[in-house]
Amino acid sequence: MNRVNLQELGPSHGKVLFALKQNDIISIQKLKQKVALGSSSLTGIIDHLE
């Protein structure tokens, strides 16, 4: 993972990163359920984290 300015990350980013850390392999559908976000929100967060 590239270095990221932590001030650029919001609470939803943390939820996604935590869920990804807990699950080695997870589908987008399961991730969406775990973090309780809609598809477009989750896609935006994933794009930002890349």
Residue 38 in 3-state DSSP?
coil
pLDDT score recorded for residue 6: 72
Q: Of 16, 24, 9, 15, whose CA–CA distance to 46 is shortest?
A: 16
Distance, CA of 26 to CA of 9 (rounded, Å): 21
User: What is the value of pTM for the model shown?
Assistant: 0.74
pLDDT score recorded for residue 2: 57
Does 4 map to a domain?
no
Does 24 map to a domain?
yes
DSSP tag of 8: G
Domain count for the chain: 1
Positive or negative CA dihedral for 31, 24, 12, 34? positive
- Per-residue pLDDT of 1-50, as tens digits, reads 556 677 778 888 989 999 999 998 999 999 999 999 999 999 999 998 88
pLDDT score recorded for residue 24: 84
| Domain assignment of residue 17, given as a range | 10-49
